[in-house]
Amino acid sequence: MFTHLLPSHQKMSEGNRAQVDSFKQFGIATSKIMAYMAGQYGGYGMLRFTKRDLYNYVHGQRITRICDGDAAATIGYFEGKANADIMTAARYTRTPDNRLGSLFWADGEMMADYQLFGDVLAFDSMYRSNKYRKPLVVFSGSNHHKQTSNFEFTLLEDEEVHTYRWCC
């Protein structure tokens, strides 16, 4: 009766996942999906997965959709900012499989700060500490009040010399 609670018996079948995906496309709440599927199988105890399994699956699908759209949303945001402010610069590259390669961004204030305080430049690469496992490079300096001024941000495709040259 309670075998569905044992980890070795908890598994959503491909059919279950396809059915959940169909319901979610039509905006059906996850709790309603669980109740419907329990009714189909003759009760909650007859399901081969728990409520938590269902919610984890739905959450994983949502995260996948969001991550797949991250690059497009980011590029759209930066291009919108660049169109609204002539002093903003944004550029990017694509990999051979049409994914985001490197991304560069600097707004008007950053460029003005660079003109004023860019005689000494420091850059820091935070190697692969983000979820995309790409180096994030921050170019910065110090202004006349000894405050940090950021000059640009770049998310690099890799750590090759030509990639660093691309962002400068």
pLDDT at 40: 92
State the amino acid at position 47 in one-letter form: L
Look at residues 105, 103, 114, 102 and name the one whose alpha carbon lies nearest to residue 151: 114
Length of the chain measured in residues:
168
The residue that leads in pLDDT, 65 or 76, is: 76
The 100-106 sheet, strands edge to edge: 89-94, 100-106, 148-155, 136-142, 122-126
Tell me the whole-structure pTM to 2 decimals.
0.54
CB atoms within 10 A of CB 38: 15
| Locus of tokens 């910065």 | 140
What percent of the chain clears pLDDT 70, i.e. is strictly above it?
A: 86
d(CA 61, CA 75): 23
DSSP 3-37: GGGSGGG----HHHHHHHHHHHHTT--HHHHHHHH
Cα 40 → chain centroid = 36
State the amino acid at position 82 in one-letter form: A
d(CA 137, CA 105): 11
| Tens-place pLDDT, residues 119-155 | 877 777 776 666 777 888 888 888 888 888 888 888 8
pLDDT at 68: 60
Residue 142 DSSP label = E
The residue that leads in pLDDT, 10 or 161, is: 161
